[in-house]
Every structure is written in C-alpha cells, then in structure tokens.
Amino acid sequence: MAKRKSPTEAEDAPRIIGGGTHHEDVPFDRALRPKTFDDYIGQEKHKGNLRVFVQAARQRQEPLDHVLLCGPPGLGKTTLAQILAAEMNVQLHMTTGPVIEHKGALAGLLTKLGPNDVLFVDEIHRLSPVVEESLYLAMDEFRIDVMTGDGAFASAIQIPVPPFTLVGATTRTGLLTAPLYSRFGHHVRLDFYAPEELARIVRRSATILGVPITGEGALAIAKRSRGTPRIANRLLRRVRDFAEVLGTGAIDEKVVHGSSDRLDIDAAGFDEMDRRILRILCVDYEGGPVGVETIAAALGEPRDTIEDVYEPFLLQQGYLGRTPRGRIATKKAWAHLGLEAPSALKASDGPLFVAETSATRTTP
Ligand code: ADP
C-alpha cells in the first residue's frame, strides 16, 4: 500500500505558494541556503540567543543543549540546524523521524557521531514510540540500550554514545509528547517573516542567481510569499522565467504583478486554495464557526494539511479566527472576497469574531 505523505512532504500537484519542498527546489535550496548566522536574515531574537548558546558551549567544549525548532515548512529550520553545526564547528548528520524505523537504526546513527556533533531529526513528531523512548536515554545520559544475543540468550546492554546535540524540527510543538518536548534545552519557535525581511532574502537570492531586481520588485515578491523564505525563493525563480521570456530579464514591480496574475496569486499572497477556504467559511457557512474536519472534507484534503499548510498563515494574518467550536471568518476575510460582512461582525471592533452562539453547525 502506498505510504501516506506527510503534510510537509512534496505535494502531489506542487503549489507555488506551498512551504513544503518541491523536487525542483532541492538544487536551489542548496545554493541559496545561508551558511552562517550573518547570512541568516530575520528571526533576530532567536539568532541572538542561539549565538550566545553556541559561544558558551564552545567555550566549555561541550555539546550545545538539545534544540527544538518549531514552525511551518520553509521558514528555515533545516538551514538553522546546518548553521548551528557549522558555528559549533562540528559535523551535521541529517535524518527524518519516520526513517528511523527501529532502535537498531537509532543505535547505528548515534554510534557514528563524533564528539559534540549535531544530529538533525526533521519531523521529529513522527518517530515511532519505541525509537522515541530509546532516544530519551541517549539525550539524557549519552547512552543507548542495545540487544545482544538471540532468543533465550538475548539481553540488553547499555553502550555509551559520544556527547551530541539533537536538533529536532517539527511543524507544531503540540504534536510532540511531553517527555520528548521537555528534554530539549532550547525551544525555538520560528515566526513568519516580515515583508521587509523577505525582500532582503529575495535580493540576496537574486544576487546569487545573477538576476537584476529592483527594491520594489523584491518587496512585491516578498508580499506574495506568505512570510516564508522558501516560497519567496520559488516565486523569484518563476518571476525570473517571465522576465527572461516576456521582458528584458530584469525584475521590477510591474513584472512581479504581471507574473503573479498569471500564476493566480493575489496581492495578499493567496492562491485558489486559500480563497476556497475563505469562501467555505463566508459563503457556505455564513462566517462560521466551521470545524476543521468540515473544511478538510469540503476541500478533499487531510485535516493535518489544513492545520499545517493552509491555516497558519491565514490565522497569523488575521483572516481566520480559532474558537472552541471551529474556525471563523474575520472582517478581513469578507473584505478580501469582496463580500459584505454580516452586520454583527461589522458593528464590532478589533479582529472580531462572530458570537459563538450565532452558528452551531459543526463541531471543531
Ligand atoms: P524548513 O527546514 O523550515 O522547511 P529550510 O531551512 O529548508 O526550511 O529553508 C528553505 C529555504 O529558504 C532555504 O533553502 C533557504 O534558501 C531559505 N531560507 C530559510 N530561512 C532563511 C533565512 N532566514 N535567510 C535567508 N534564507 C532563508
């Protein structure tokens, strides 16, 4: 039976403004990925703290405490793991949660590490419970249980592993078990990037790719990139195609606007899928609340995909609200669709949600 894809894996019909990796991104991701803290744009607070922790660990000649990186796909978790290893001057070993199928595979990984190396486990919430449990001892005491012998002669022995730093990445911390979560010394929750930061990322990438771009052009790409560097870099590449074939090769605001129209990405950085979510809420359910399962069924997508891929940016930008009864449309959502908001919503101030008693169609 085909394995179910995780919401952050490459999507079947790649979505230009999806944060997950597309196969065509891989060589560009490699070329554009910042290698040092200085190149890593934005996330200033986290970067400042991590610099201190790295320096302190290096002075003590100890491994960095285990780090949990959390945030939607494409915000720079893998990049940060690589930078941490480079700044610690140690090797980075990369894997993903579901790939470590059993305790033996984990033991194989851990015994290959050099002192203070970084083990990066992407999608760490998808570790099997047995593997996760063996990881606890490794994280706490740098030891691991291995089984020797067969049948009646089988016994467990503990072998030491080199001191190491586990850098785990996950889309939402709520997906982690409490014992795993509490074993990380540093918890870094990456935020969506501001348009000005993304514009700096676009300008840096354009320089590496040798594409001429104006400041306004970079900002226009940034505003349509859902606060996500991977999307900004992908959109830059698509706009470059239009500029090279239909224009002079240089990118300015006009080229970006024309290209985004052709790609069906609107001024807020939304595509048809986002607008469908807003229409389900506003048109089909009169503003909500609508349970996330209902939204998922209407779109024909798994619930996880709605929660990990589509919803975070709509929530962060204030187009959706979350209530115990489900998702609700805000004034901004109605305005974005060019529809008149219900009078109860119009009369209220702030980010404003429909009173919970007004609609009880679904459960969350
Ligand atoms: P994640 O692991 O969170 O899915 P990545 O670390 O793979 O995201 O980042 C995706 C791409 O976005 C990288 O190849 C890199 O080029 C770019 N990127 C991410 N964060 C930054 C940043 N802070 N500054 C510059 N480029 C970034």
pLDDT digits (tens, 9 = 90+) for 213-238: 999 999 999 999 999 999 999 999 99
pLDDT of residue 31: 83
Q: Which of 42-46, 56-60, 258-262, 355-359 has the lowest mean pLDDT?
A: 355-359
> Are 65 and 186 within 8 A, CB to CB?
yes
Q: How far apart are CA 175 and CA 177, in angstroms?
A: 7
- Which DSSP symbol is given to 176? S
Residue 36 pLDDT grade (very low, low, confident, very high; cuts 50, 70, 90):
very high
Asked whether residue 5 carries a pLDDT value surpassing 60, the answer given is no
Q: Please answer whether residues 319 and 336 qualify as being in contact, where contact means their C-beta atoms are separated by less than 8 angstroms.
A: yes
On average, the pLDDT of the chain sits at 89
Residue of the CA atom closest to atom 7 of ligand 1: 78
Q: Which long-range contacts (CB under 8 A, 24 or more apart) does 142-149 make?
A: 144/103, 144/106, 144/107, 144/110, 144/111, 145/103, 146/103, 146/104, 146/107, 147/103
Tokens representing residue 124 in the block: 């760490």
Q: Which of 8, 25, 29, 77 is catalytic?
A: 77
| pLDDT score of 359 | 36
What's residue 363's pLDDT?
34
What pTM value is reported for the model? 0.85
Question: Quick check: is 8 catalytic?
Answer: no
Cis peptide upstream of residue 34 (ω within 30 degrees of 0): no
What phi, psi does 99 have (nearest 5°)?
-75, -25
Q: Which of 61, 66, 87, 69 is nearest to 164 (CA)?
A: 66
Q: How far is the CA of 24 from the centre of ligand 1 (A)?
A: 15
**From ligand 1's centre to the CA of 48, what distance in Å?**
18
Is 360 assigned a catalytic role? Answer: no
The residue whose CA has the least distance to atom 11 of ligand 1 is 230
Report whether residue 29 contacts ligand 1, using a CB cutoff of 6 Å: yes
Q: What is the DSSP string of 152-175?
A: GG-EEEEEE----EEEEEES-GGG
pLDDT digits over 285-313, tens only? 999 899 999 999 999 999 988 988 899 99
CA 144 to chain CA centroid, Å, is 30
